[in-house]
Chains A and B, each alone.
Chain A
Amino acid sequence: MSIVTVQLGQCGNQVGHELFDIICSDALEGQRKLYSTASCERFFHQTTNGELVARAVLIDMEPKVINQSISRAAKSGRWRYGESSHFSQKQGSGNNWANGYCVHGPRHRAVVEELVRREVERCDRLAGLMAMMSVAGGTGSGVGTYATQCLRDIYPKSFILNHLTWPYGTGEVIVQNYNSVLTLAHLYQLSDAILVHENDTVHRICSQLLNIKHISFGDVNGVIAHQLGSILQPALTADSHGVYSRNPLGELVSALTCHPEYKLLSVCTIPQMPSSSMAYSTFSWPSLLKHLRQMLISNTKMEEGIDWQVRPPAGSERTRSLTGPSFNTSLANLLILRGKEVYSAETGGFGDPALYTSWLSSEEAFNLWKSPVSFNKYEKCATLVSNSQALLRPLDNMVGKAWNMFASRAYIHQYVKFGISEEDFLDSFTSLEQVISSYGQLN
């Protein structure tokens, strides 16, 4: 089963490149034939002379980043992008979602669809589509939303996962909250699951866990790619009978996002450390999983600064809804363990019904994937993909800021110019308030 990735905009193309790079080097590491075969089949196709070519379509409205990604991939010597599987224009969308969604998207619809169709036809079996983009800019968010809509039209029965990079709270793009609101509201209707990385969180991981002094976008993208890779690389699922799962996206969404009102997924991975100290570190599954569980319930996205005071509410507290605001209630969790002695790992702590909302039993809410193969040079690696309240606060902030701006009608004329009306804004706000309210009701 193969996944076709669609990289959109500057961010999508940078993160996408990092992802393929990590997946490729991880797949080719050591003698792990089954794993390597499964991984390569999933993300690459092989040319007659054995070259690995990413199953990816690169789309941007300006050429610089795409050219960079293509040449960097070719330079790696391990893999490359397809010669003609990219499309770029000369002029970006200028941070304007409306420009991407109403102008660039429709204008280039045929080309984009054709590129994706070619890549899909190259797959023996299509496991699904993954669109990668940021929500802040104009191309990733606007064209990305439009492209997702096209994909949904053409492949109504395929699994579609959107990977979104949320911008820093401040300083990237001033209209980022408008663009984010419009993107999320539209994608919520189109996508099967929306996997989110927040730049602020990843930035903190870079500085506090990886000890990087001068953090570049490359560092940030590297962390995102590592976490994504640890989700997407082959793993054994409960029902896969010792064979690497053939339906990665299908099983991901079936485990986490069956409910149409809850589609936001957050990720945390443990351990993460500078590669230089990896040689001197050993990990035990009990301690990794203990930390990861506390990260989940206290909503901490990294090992540093976990609040150990947060505890799941006892049964009696639950009914009286005395749950402290700091406790992060989950709807569903997927735990992915990779590496040594993975079969001995005790994961009962994640099946605790107290972690979950009352209306879903923990058997349905908790899923576990394992792979005895170590990932990206980490001897052991645990990743938790969580459909929980973790993104509630950032989402609420984002909508709140956008709403404040909208109340003053600031910047609206820039969107009206391209055909997005105030009504469209209101619709988007309404549907996101619905999402916020749904997540708020989990506990």
Chain B
Amino acid sequence: MQRSKASVRVEVKQVIGALCRLLAATGLESVPTPENFRRAKFGGGLEVEDQFWQLLADILQTSSSVSCEASAQLGGATDYRKLVAAGLWQTGYHADWMYGRQGGEGEEGGEGGRCSSRDLLLALGWLLATGKLEILLTQRVQQLDKTLLTPTPVNPPLPSELQLDSASLRKLQWLVGCLRYQGRTLLSMQEERTRLLHAVVVASLPSSVSSSSDQSSTVLRKDCVCMQQLCDLLEAYLNWKQVEKVFWTWMDSVVDCHLTDPVVKRPSHSPNTGARVCHHGNRGLEKLEDMLLRLPTGQEAQRRGRGDVEDREEGRERLHGGSDSFCLPPPLSSLPCLPCRPQAYRAMLQTEKPVRHGRLPGEGARGGAENPDELPASQAVQELLQTEALLVERRDRQRLANRMQLQKMIGRLDQLMLIPP
């Protein structure tokens, strides 16, 4: 058993290494070593913590979750942490330590402000699960590949049976127009690539060496470097995708660690202070809704761990009303046992008071529901709690199944693998 444990550790380390290489390839400057990931899980020292603060800050900034202007104004490390907390909050993440005494200077002493490197690791897991990695990747690809354009996605929600009334016809004409424009965009990308390729080919022909000027060759060289980086990036992503499963299983163990840790307790504070820290944009909302939409598909083995994290955080998120809205995606609500709320809700204040007097659980700040579109907070909370319970139950079942499946898979392998607790 000991032998295999070591080999497993090596493997996890490799997987984390793949992640680190990918993160570095997306252009992040300070990525912790795989070893530091491991140390973070078990509450590594201040140095490890610092590395993770930096990493989180970089990710949040690069993916424009927090604006560069805001970060430019902040100087000290405490400000930095405040920014990370705000950014995380905006992406829909919640953890106790984020609601430390405002100003962030109390992360050591304050009641809710304590934060271990494991907390940060979990936060990182959240960011990866919410697709920040893909955003970083897309951005980096766009930087490296100048020919890339962003075609507006066309997703025609056509009615199942098409009638040829004038409205449908116009709609159809609109969609055809959309596609035509998209086609043009793609075509121009293609043409551009062809041109670049042609330039490369021409430049590499020995006969034309003399004719090409210095300037164009430096440009070409730059392009080549970009292309190389692009290839590296995509390769790193591919590698990561192949082993991602293992990482999430490991992450799962981090969560377990975190839950069994006696220090952790249910939150006992109001989230309002947090609301003061961040300015909440729509971006967070969109992400949250997007996430909820993806929730049911979390059954896929690949997303196992991710689903767990999401579930839990989602539940809390809603409980604390940190977000302005939530939405239950159709597939989820179609489960017979889940309360069904087909509409999306937007938190609304009855009076124009500052945000901190907003929606407390059970306070019913929204007053009576005069409108069928409105839902009193207390009722919402009730439903959310139910949902959470269901989801937690489902998560546990899922996790068990995951482990069984993994165990089975591992059993088939020569080496036995056990995920360290």
Contacts and interface: CB of A to CB of B under 8 A. Distances in A.
Interface in A34-80: none
Interface stretch (A165-173, A256-264, A288-296): A256-264
Interface residues of A, number: 40
B276 to A, nearest CB: 14
B170 A359 contact: yes
Contacts of B103: none
B281 interface: yes
B178 interface: yes
B177 interface: yes
Q: Which of A125, A236, A341 has the most CB of B within 10 A?
A: A125
B356 interface: no
A255 B62 CA distance: 27
B69 A372 contact: yes
Interface string B167-194: 1101101111110111011011000100
Contacts of A250: 149, 151, 181, 184-185
A247 B150 contact: yes
Interface in B118-156: 135, 138-139, 142-143, 146-153
Interface string A337-364: 0000101101110000000001111001
Contact of A241 (B139, B147, B174, B177): B139
Given A251-B152, A361-B157, A241 B69 contact: no
B142 A258 contact: no
Main SS of chain A's interface residues? loop
A383 B170 CA distance: 27
Contacts of B148: 246
Given A125-B192, A157-B188, A237-B150, A359 B157 contact: no
A343 B152 contact: no
A258 B175 contact: yes
Contacts of A358: 167
Nearest to A243: B142
B61 to A, nearest CB: 10
A359 B162 CA distance: 13
A124 interface: yes
Given A250-B149, A254-B178, A258-B177, A241 B281 contact: no
A154 to B, nearest CB: 14
A261 B281 CA distance: 36
A260 B174 CA distance: 8
Interface residues of B, number: 43
Contact of B177 (A245, A257, A341): A257
Contacts of B173: 259-261
A281 B151 CA distance: 38
A361 B185 CA distance: 23
A245 B143 CA distance: 12
B174 A341 contact: no
A349 B56 CA distance: 34
Interface string A220-254: 00000000000000001101111101110011011
A243 B281 contact: no
A178 to B, nearest CB: 30
A159 interface: yes
Contacts of B177: 257-260
A124 B146 CA distance: 10
A341 B279 contact: yes
Contacts of A253: 181
A224 to B, nearest CB: 26
B184 A159 contact: yes
Contacts of A159: 181, 184
A124 B193 CA distance: 12
B150 A125 contact: no
A258 B147 CA distance: 23
Contacts of A243: 139, 142-143
A380 B35 CA distance: 47
Nearest to A346: B282
Contact of A344 (B170, B185, B281): B281
Contacts of B282: 343, 346-347
A250 B279 CA distance: 32
Contacts of A359: 167-168, 170-171, 174
B150 A240 contact: yes
Interface in A258-272: 258-261
11 contacts: A157-B184, A240-B150, A246-B149, A247-B185, A250-B185, A254-B178, A254-B182, A341-B279, A344-B279, A359-B168, A359-B171
Shortest 3 CB-CB distances between A and B: which pairs? Answer: A258-B177, A242-B64, A343-B281
Given A341-B279, A358-B167, 5 more contacts: A125-B188, A241-B142, A242-B64, A257-B177, A359-B171
